[in-house]
Chains A and B, each alone.
Chain A
Amino acid sequence: MASDTELTPTSYIEHHLTYLTTQVREGAFWVLHVDTLVTSIVLGVISLGFIWLVVRKATSGVPSKTQAFVELAVEFIDNEVKNTFHGNRHVFVAPAALTIFVWVLMMNAMDILPIDIMAWIMEHAFGLHNWKIVPTTDVNTTFALALSIWLLMLFFNVKVKGLGGWMHELFCTPFGKNPLLWPLNLLFNFIEYVSKPLSHSLRLFGNIYAGEIIFLLLGMWAATGISGTIFGAVLGAGWAIFHILIVTLQAFIFMMLTVVYLSMAHESH
């Protein structure tokens, strides 16, 4: 909690929305959100490390329960990818989709942890006054993912179709090959290429950020006394249960869009 200033709704929310930052270099851009980066890396290492540990001991015989769980997740994602992507998915797309789903799911799931308790632990156990626990409420994270995938999209476009093939696609689809339509096609494709990473990243960010804000607003019921606290807790529990759905769904949508974008990059029109 913000103990240095008087606790008002505004300061409460501001406290929870403040990043732990460090200045890497001079300039407004060279700010690093340490909390976002560390939390996301820790989560990625934990989840992917867990899968890796299971996979290292994976047997083709009767699997252990843990291995069966991991296989369930992997086969679920593999199936989704198989339905959308028609190239050799095992080289890159399917494992990338697994990474995205697992990592984004873990980052989103941090939203369900009670924010004030986490803030208290961070403050008293680690001495960190500001620590945003949900990396996907940081627009930098979602943009980083979406732009990486966007670059991959461009890379696969060039790799699969060749630079000429891709240019041909930019100028000649979706409306036709007539040179009069070239500017229109190019404009259309340009808008598409700009909107893809924007919608991709902002959808995830918006959903999780909104969820976070609602938790904060529900948390403020605690300011109204005992009955308000209980009421807020009940609402918070309800929202958390509903949020399990949102967290999973958003991770899944993010993964599916990635697969769709990458398969569109692989297939010529």
Chain B
Amino acid sequence: MNINFTLISQAIAFSVFIWFTVRYVWPPLLRAIEERQKTIADGLAAGERGRHELELASQRSSDVLRDAKQRASEIIIQAEKRAAEVIEEAKKSAKEEGDRIVAGAKADIEHEIFSAKEVLRQQVSELAVAGAAKILRREVDAKAHADLLAAIREDLK
């Protein structure tokens, strides 16, 4: 239990060991540990950010979905309205067309009637002329009225 030179030599050894640890052991290990801590912290932050973004994205997607649904229903309503309009227009134009056809037919009929009447009138006039001619034949100088008779004959052919 006596103090001697061992004390000094042990103190020197101790200083060397401390110097060694301070210089060569502690800094690289600390650096590695701190880098890993940073990596882990970054990873956790990234995870948190990802989660947040996922939340935002799902919110956005539900917004988009709701929008799309709304627009789809609007489109459907518009389409139905348009379809009704188209049907209405078609009905209207069909009616107009029908009216026009009917009107055309009526015009044709009237025209036919008119021309028939014209023909009839012609024929009646001819018949009247023919009848008159027959009645008048005796009193008519054939020679004098030859031209006229020939004309009537021509007409009656």
Contact = CB atoms under 8 A, between A and B. Distances in A.
Contact of A31 (B4, B27, B30): B4
A56 B20 CA distance: 13
A51 interface: yes
Given A48-B25, A95-B25, A96-B18, A32 B13 contact: no
A66 to B, nearest CB: 12
B18 to A, nearest CB: 5
Given A33-B4, A60-B36, A70 B29 contact: yes
B34 to A, nearest CB: 8
Contacts, number: 124
B32 to A, nearest CB: 4
Interface in A102-148: 103, 135, 138-141, 143-145, 147-148
A263 interface: no
A59 B14 CA distance: 28
A55 interface: yes
Nearest to B30: A90
A71 B10 contact: no
B144 interface: no
A41 B4 contact: no
A33 B18 contact: no
Interface string B1-25: 1111111111101110110111011
Contact of B13 (A44, A71, A74): A44
Tell me which of A28, A139, A144, A147 has the highest count of chain B C-beta atoms within 10 A of its own C-beta.
Answer: A144
A140 B21 contact: no
Contacts of A140: 3-4, 6-7, 10
B33 interface: yes
B21 A58 contact: no
Contacts of B3: 29, 139-140, 143
Nearest to B12: A144
B35 interface: yes
A95 B18 contact: yes
A138 B35 CA distance: 42
Interface string A72-107: 001100100000000000111011101110010000
12 contacts: A30-B4, A31-B4, A33-B4, A58-B32, A61-B36, A99-B22, A135-B10, A140-B3, A140-B6, A141-B7, A144-B9, A147-B7
Interface of B: 1-11, 13-15, 17-18, 20-22, 24-33, 35-36, 39
Kindly list the 5 A-B residue pairs having the minimum CB-CB distance in the complex, ordered from nearest.
Answer: A60-B35, A144-B10, A95-B26, A140-B6, A58-B32
